Structure 1
Amino acid sequence: MANVGGIDRILRFVVGIVLVLVPFVAPTVPALAGLGNWAWLIGAWGLAMVLTAAFRFCPAYPLLGINTCGK
């Protein structure tokens, strides 16, 4: 039932980790300090990306008819 493959999975994991760190780093970086509560929304989006990479399943892909897994 996997629909997230190879490069898609790696990109989701790397970008997801970066986005998860935003709420913790934003208050210390002047360019990101104005994000406020948006930083937590960005972090949640990152967590979703990490989870879809870990489970190799994206719930939106079946709705869009996408499958990046090489099956």
Structure 2
Amino acid sequence: MTKNVGGIDRILRIVIGAALIAGFFLNPQGSYRWLYLIGIVPLATGLMSSCLLYRLVGVSTCKIK
């Protein structure tokens, strides 16, 4: 996989993804609780340093080519 997610972008994705997943567990009575699971996507793309949407659009925030 080609890395196309850079430093700050990667950190933000991991923090936001982890926060959303934590919200899933911390809000057990929420009626739309399942929406917190969207946090899996930014967490996974942050950990892998690769984003499919970035690749399709041709964007890269990674300084290393």
Q: Measure, in 2, the Cα distance between the counterparts of 1:58 and 1:47.
A: 13
Task: Note the 1:1-71 alignment, pairs <5 A.
Answer: 1-27=2-28, 33=29, 35-36=30-31, 38-43=32-37, 45-71=38-64
Q: Measure, in 1, the Cα distance between the counterparts of 2:63 and 2:17.
A: 22
Q: Measure, in 1, the Cα distance between the counterparts of 2:33 and 2:42.
A: 15
The amino acid that maps onto 1:17 is A
1:68 shift after superposition: 0.5
Structure 1: state its 5+ residue gaps: 28-32
Helix, strand or coil: the match of 2:27? helix
User: Percent same amino acid among aligned pairs?
Assistant: 40
TM-score (norm 1): 0.77
Helix, strand or coil: the match of 2:40? helix
Higher helix share: 1
The amino acid that maps onto 2:46 is A
Structure 2: state its 5+ residue gaps: none
1:4 shift after superposition: 0.5
Q: Tell me which stretches of 4 or more aligned residues in structure 1 moved more than 4 Å.
A: none
Q: Measure, in 1, the Cα distance between the counterparts of 2:8 and 2:25.
A: 27
